[in-house]
Structure 1
């Protein structure tokens, strides 16, 4: 009997029901093996190997300080001072380290904003205290792709961003182009030419004010660009911070507002007051991503806030 014939004869001893059982077992084993490979990251690594990782290559250090004063003749047993630190991570910024002259707590929100909280205990009558802060950053000239969460929030109207106003919606329709980038560029050029800078305004006025009055400061430029983008279906948001082309000691007069719009899985900078569009990302130090949200309980203050009767604070220049 040939070997071939022997193998044929041996198959005759495997019943159809046993064949079916063996097939099920083999399939189950293959499924378990595939699940283990996926869980262990073998397949995931292969699928994500070609996706670029976030890169921040330019080192930048900023320093800033505040003077806290007790203006009374009484000992103040307890007070609180809060100020913004650079955002933990944005498409162009990674905050690596924060140091301060006094102990502090870091308060964060879901946007990556970081607030430093200092407890002021047993502040002597007419006493002064200087709080100094140093932050080490890594910056990128081009935006990285990072998790952006739900973009719907950045399409909705809110206080100072009246993207649902008929006049703004009509202008957004006129400026709409073939791609989000082209539309954002049209909006940027229009806002830069439409609004005249009239110096610092103490109170926020908003997008509609800038649209109707054709004037404002950097904040109104930011709000109008953001509102027109949202009215045109492009996610956009306001940013507060500083422009630092090199290591810098921050000054109160240097605080600035600009905007970001979202396209191609990235947030892109747009500073219509300074005529900077989609470039120089490494120079924009983000101290706060602005959002009207319960997750930002401290409201819209730009630089600092102090609590404690008789306590005053100022940012040093």
Structure 2
């Protein structure tokens, strides 16, 4: 007797939303130093220091976080931000105190697989990344109108975000001396000039205006875009001058993906749209906060440095 062999049922294999390249380790350190410049003792000194956020960006993982002085508490703030709170009992005139916060980071090159995008709307994302926020004036009529104009022919969020990215690259002129720099998305749209923070803010605001979740990422980047100068450090590498802002946008089925229009200023293709080709970025937060100090007596001054070690 013969047995009919039925064809195996088709198996739907989910595509990975992105691919990660070879990892690199980074030792990142925050150093805060306070000094009593007064002529009487400072007492009951309370410091609130922003620390690395618990980011869910897929191209960076925090392996460890250590403190030279144990914090009294660590608080969670908006946009996944965190602050460590420290207490120093007192500093005599001329006396100094330092707090070091050290991280072991794993960073990855990332390339999005846009085929994994489902085409659905992104409804499961935290609402804050769809709403206006400081310097992200996504509900302003000028931002809303321009976003609608840019995306009028786009069929889905992927096409919309790509069109917005192209617009920001072409609309903006990088000018580190521009009087309008670091003043937010609306100013960037109007003035057409600025720095990385303005590029990122404008991209984020335009995305949110058409209901694409987006957020600004603050941190550091190698201006050459390779990160090679950080790969084999033989001495401490101060990060002053390497401060950078870029963006991330969310696609259903693909998740949070990077977009760095500043890095693509002179490129012929969209190399940094949904892609970080090298381990060139160190993400710190989605919203900047400042060091805060409260104390009694004396006169305190604080300095803040960030470096790779």
TM-score by length of 1: 0.70
Rg bigger for which structure?
1
Q: Give the distance between the partners of 1:137 and 1:314, measured in 2 at CA.
A: 24
| Worse-matched range after superposition: 110-119 or 176-185 | 110-119
Equivalent residue in structure 1 for 2:219, among 241, 258, 261: 241
Secondary structure of 1:205 counterpart: coil
Q: Judging changes above 3 Å, is the alpha-carbon distance between structure 1 residues 149 and 283 closer, same or farther for their aligned structure 2 residues?
A: farther
Unaligned runs of 5+ in 2: 1-12, 117-122, 265-271
Q: Judging changes above 3 Å, is the alpha-carbon distance between structure 1 residues 202 and 170 closer, same or farther for their aligned structure 2 residues?
A: closer
State the Cα deviation string for residues 53-110 of structure 1 (Å, max 9, x = none).
9989543221232221112111111222233322224222221211232222432347
Task: Please say if residues 260 and 269 of structure 1, whose CA atoms lie closer than 8 Å, have aligned partners that are also in contact.
Answer: yes
Task: Please say if residues 36 and 301 of structure 2, whose CA atoms lie closer than 8 Å, have aligned partners that are also in contact.
Answer: yes
Could you tell me which residue of structure 1 aligns to residue 252 of structure 2?
Answer: 264
Q: Does 1:152 align with 2:127?
A: yes
RMSD: 3.2
Could you tell me which residue of structure 2 aligns to residue 277 of structure 1?
Answer: 273
Q: Give the distance between the partners of 1:284 and 1:269, measured in 2 at CA.
A: 10
Q: How far 1:212 moved relative to its partner?
A: 0.7
Q: How far 1:203 moved relative to its partner?
A: 8.1
Q: Report the count of equivalent residues.
A: 257
Aligned runs of 1:136-215 on 2, under 5 Å? 136-142=104-110, 150-176=125-151, 177-199=154-176, 204-215=182-193
State the Cα deviation string for residues 21-55 of structure 1 (Å, max 9, x = none).
xxxxxxxxxxxxxxxxxxxxxxxxxxxx9797998
Q: Give the distance between the partners of 1:58 and 1:210, measured in 2 at CA.
A: 34
Could you tell me which residue of structure 2 aligns to residue 80 of structure 1?
Answer: 46
Secondary structure of 1:73 counterpart: coil
Q: Judging changes above 3 Å, is the alpha-carbon distance between structure 1 residues 179 and 150 closer, same or farther for their aligned structure 2 residues?
A: closer
Larger helix share, 1 or 2: 1
Could you tell me which residue of structure 2 aligns to residue 13 of structure 1?
Answer: none
Task: Please say if residues 55 and 285 of structure 2, whose CA atoms lie closer than 8 Å, have aligned partners that are also in contact.
Answer: no
